[in-house]
C-alpha cells in the first residue's frame, strides 16, 4: 500500500484521493477536494494556515526529526519474508511511534513554556493603556490592596432559598461603589436594576 503525503496540506493520501499529472509528468496527489481546489487556485501552502507547511514555517511543528528519516530510509526495498524480521519491524514501529510522541510532547511543552509570562505582560500593558475605563477604588480598598488583604467584590450573590435578600454592587460615575439590596420572593428572580 502506497501512502504519499498530500501535495498541498501534507496529510497522508492513502490509495484514494485525487491525482493531478502535469505536462512534465510530475504527479501531485491530494487527500481531498479542498486541497485540490486550493492548488488549482494557485494558493501557496506556506500562506494557508491549516497546512503543515505553514505550521512548520510558524514553528508550531517539528521540522527535523530523525524518526521520520529513519522510517523513510528503506521503505520500498523488496525483502524476502522472514518471521523474525517481521516481528522486529513491528516492535520497531511501536518503539519509533513512542519516541516520536515523546519528542512531540517535549517540543510542544518547550514552545508553550513562555506563553503564560507573555500573556501577563500583555494584560498589564492593556490595563495600563485603558486605566481610565476602570472604576476608581475607594481608599480602604486601596489600603487593602497595598497590604495584601483580599477584598472580594461580588456582582451578585445567588441564593436558592425563597424570600432572601440579594445584594448587588453598583459602580457610580464618580468611581465609588454603592451597595444595593433587593428583596426576592423566589419566583421573581429577574433583576430589573
Let me know if residue 183 belongs to a domain: yes
Length of the chain: 193
Banded model confidence at residue 45, pLDDT cuts 50, 70, 90:
very high
Q: How confident is the model at residue 176 (pLDDT cuts 50, 70, 90)?
A: confident
Task: Give residue 84's domain range.
Answer: 80-134
pLDDT digits (tens, 9 = 90+) for 182-191: 665 555 445 4
Whether residues 1 and 57 fall in one domain: yes
Q: Does any domain span residue 170?
A: yes
Domain count, the chain: 3
Q: Let me know if residue 71 belongs to a domain.
A: no
Do the domain assignments include residue 150?
A: yes
**Which has the minimum average pLDDT: 4-18, 61-75, 77-91, 148-162?**
148-162
Task: With beta carbons less than 8 A apart as the criterion, state whether 193 and 171 touch.
Answer: no
3-class DSSP assignment, residue 83: helix
Question: Does 166 fall in a domain?
Answer: yes
Give pairs for 182-189: CB < 8 Å, separation 24+. Answer: 184/159, 186/161, 186/162
CATH number at residue 19: 2.30.170.20
Amino acid at each position: 500500500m502506497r501512502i504519499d503525503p498530500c501535495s498541498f496540506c501534507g496529510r497522508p493520501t492513502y490509495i484514494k484521493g485525487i491525482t493531478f499529472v502535469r505536462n512534465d509528468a510530475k504527479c501531485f496527489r491530494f487527500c481531498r477536494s479542498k486541497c485540490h481546489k486550493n492548488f488549482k487556485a494557485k494558493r501557496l501552502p506556506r500562506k494557508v494556515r491549516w497546512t503543515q507547511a505553514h505550521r512548520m514555517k510558524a514553528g508550531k511543528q517539528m521540522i527535523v526529526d530523525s524518526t521520520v528519516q529513519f522510517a523513510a530510509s528503506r521503505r520500498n526495498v523488496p525483502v524476502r519474508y522472514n518471521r523474525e524480521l517481521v516481528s522486529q519491524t513491528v516492535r520497531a514501529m511501536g518503539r519509533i511511534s513512542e519516541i516520536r510522541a515523546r519528542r512531540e510532547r517535549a517540543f510542544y511543552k518547550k514552545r508553550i513554556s513562555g506563553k503564560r509570562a507573555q500573556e501577563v505582560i500583555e494584560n498589564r500593558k492593556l490595563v495600563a493603556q485603558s486605566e481610565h475605563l476602570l472604576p476608581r477604588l475607594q481608599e480602604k480598598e486601596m489600603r487593602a490592596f497595598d497590604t495584601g488583604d483580599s477584598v472580594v467584590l461580588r456582582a451578585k450573590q445567588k441564593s436558592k432559598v425563597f424570600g432572601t435578600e440579594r445584594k448587588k454592587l453598583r459602580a457610580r460615575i464618580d468611581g465609588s461603589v454603592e451597595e444595593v439590596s433587593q428583596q426576592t420572593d423566589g419566583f421573581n428572580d429577574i433583576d430589573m436594576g
